[in-house]
Amino acid sequence: MLAEGDKMLAWLAEKHGKERVDAWLKSAAREISAPPSSAIPPRKVQKQMTQRTRAEVILAWFLHKRAGDPLSIVKLYLVAELYTWRRDQVFGPRIRNGFTNRVVGQIVAGWAKVEQEREVYQVRVEKQPSWANQEFRRYDQVVKLRDKYNPQKSIYKMLGKMVREILSEEGLLSSVKSYYDHIYANGEA
């Protein structure tokens, strides 16, 4: 799938010029943003938040906590879109967008690794038998907890939909379709 994506980008660079394609990709990558304040700890993500907000949490973790490159998200979406165009007879036009959005969302969420380790001070009190001199024994300890955020499938789709909206504004999705038509018109598939 990634090799086919490299072929597609090379074809676009040949057709439109390398500088122009790079400018399109960088422009789309600049549009993919989430403020650093959106990278909240996983334990603070609540069900009352909208799907878009929870998708922004994943995107913010990828961009700010993991220092991810938004250009990789753009290229991933283009490659996934091409893959679903090639498998159109299996997916059909109606569910192609949802499949692409979900796959891209799952991969970006895997890259983001939304998890956090924190130390919690715990006091544990144990009761002793009645015949003992001390009634209670107190144990103070620091416990390390790891919070993970496991989003629902709908959050993956929303994350992919956010990327799709940006790429459709930039006109990159139409270039995927033109590459697909070029491949099948020449019988190279």
The whole-number pLDDT of residue 9 equals 83
The whole-number pLDDT of residue 6 equals 80
Residue partners of 80: CB distance under 8 A and separation at least 6: 1, 100, 103, 104
Among 110, 136, 142, 145, CA closest to 123: 142
The total number of structural domains that make up the chain: 1
Task: Kindly state whether residue 24 falls inside one of the protein's structural domains.
Answer: yes
Q: Give the angle 157-10-97 at the CA atoms, nearest 5°.
A: 20
The whole-number pLDDT of residue 185 equals 67
The whole-number pLDDT of residue 127 equals 67
d(CA 99, CA 23): 27
Query: What is the token pair recorded at 125?
Result: 């009190």
What one-character DSSP code corresponds to residue 129?
A: P
The whole-number pLDDT of residue 179 equals 83
The whole-number pLDDT of residue 116 equals 84
- Three-state DSSP state, 156: helix
pLDDT in tens, the chain (189 residues): 777 778 888 888 888 888 888 888 888 888 888 888 888 888 888 888 899 999 989 999 888 888 888 888 888 888 888 888 877 766 676 788 888 889 999 998 888 888 888 888 887 776 665 565 666 666 778 888 888 888 888 899 999 999 888 888 877 788 878 888 887 766 665
Task: Kindly state whether residue 179 falls inside one of the protein's structural domains.
Answer: yes
Task: Kindly state whether residue 98 falls inside one of the protein's structural domains.
Answer: yes
Which residues form the domain of 105?
2-115+151-186
The whole-number pLDDT of residue 189 equals 52
